[in-house]
C-alpha cells in the first residue's frame, strides 16, 4: 500500500521497526508513537492504521503501559494541524484487552480518546467480514471483533 501511496505523494512512514526500502517519495523513519518526530500542529494528513490498540502491551518491544492507547491518541492529536485529518482504524466490538496482542474498543471509547477531533466519517467491517460505509458508530450492537475506520478532523487545539 505504501508503494502505491508514495507513487502519487510524498509519504513519511514512521514505525517502531522502520522499513528498509528505497522509494522515491517514501521516507521511512524510526520512531515511537508516544514521541513522534514532528512539530506540534505540523501534520495536515495522518494515518494510523491498526497501531494504537497495540501500544503499551509489549508485543513489539515497547514498554508495558496500561495507558498506551491514550498516550498514543494524545500524541497523534498533538502533531495534527488545525483542520488536519486523522484516518484511524482499530478493532471495535466488545471492549477488552487481549494481552499482549491488542485492545478492542467500543466506538464511544475511540471518540473519547480524540476529544479534540470531530468525527467526520465512520465505516466498519463487521464480524462476518461485511463492509458498512458511512454508518453511525452508535449503530453497532453485539459486535465482537470488527474493524472500525474513523475519519476525524482537528477543529481546535
- Residue 94: which residues within 8 A CB-CB, separation 6 or more? 104, 106, 143, 144, 145
How many whole angstroms separate alpha carbon 63 and alpha carbon 117?
27
For 119-144, the pLDDT digits (tens) are 999 999 999 999 999 999 988 878 99
- What is the separation of C-alpha 72 from the centre of its chain, rounded to a whole number of angstroms? 9
pLDDT band at 100 (very low <50, low <70, confident <90, very high): confident
- CATH code that applies to domain 36-154: 3.40.50.150
- Percent composition of the chain: helix, strand, coil (DSSP 3-state, to 5): 20, 40, 45
Verdict on whether the full-model pTM lies above 0.85: yes
DSSP 105: B
Domain boundaries, given as residue ranges, for the chain: 1-31, 36-154
How many whole angstroms separate alpha carbon 35 and alpha carbon 31?
7
Assess contact for 49 and 107: CB atoms under 8 A.
no
Amino acid at each position: 500500500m505504501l508503494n502505491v501511496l508514495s507513487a502519487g505523494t510524498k509519504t513519511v512512514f514512521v514505525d517502531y521497526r522502520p522499513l528498509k526500502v528505497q522509494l522515491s517519495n517514501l521516507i521511512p523513519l524510526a520512531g515511537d508513537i508516544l514521541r513522534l518526530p514532528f512539530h506540534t500542529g505540523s501534520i495536515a494528513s495522518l494515518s494510523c492504521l491498526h497501531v494504537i490498540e497495540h501500544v503499551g502491551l509489549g508485543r513489539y518491544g515497547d514498554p508495558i503501559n496500561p495507558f498506551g492507547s491514550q498516550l498514543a491518541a494524545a500524541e497523534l492529536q498533538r502533531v495534527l494541524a488545525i483542520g488536519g485529518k486523522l484516518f484511524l482504524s482499530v478493532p471495535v466490538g466488545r471492549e477488552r484487552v487481549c494481552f499482549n496482542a491488542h485492545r478492542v474498543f467500543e466506538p464511544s471509547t475511540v471518540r473519547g480518546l480524540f476529544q479534540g477531533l470531530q468525527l467526520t466519517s465512520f465505516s466498519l467491517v463487521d464480524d462476518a467480514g461485511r463492509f458498512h460505509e458511512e454508518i453511525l458508530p452508535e449503530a453497532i450492537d453485539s459486535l465482537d471483533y470488527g474493524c472500525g475506520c474513523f475519519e476525524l478532523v482537528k477543529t481546535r487545539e
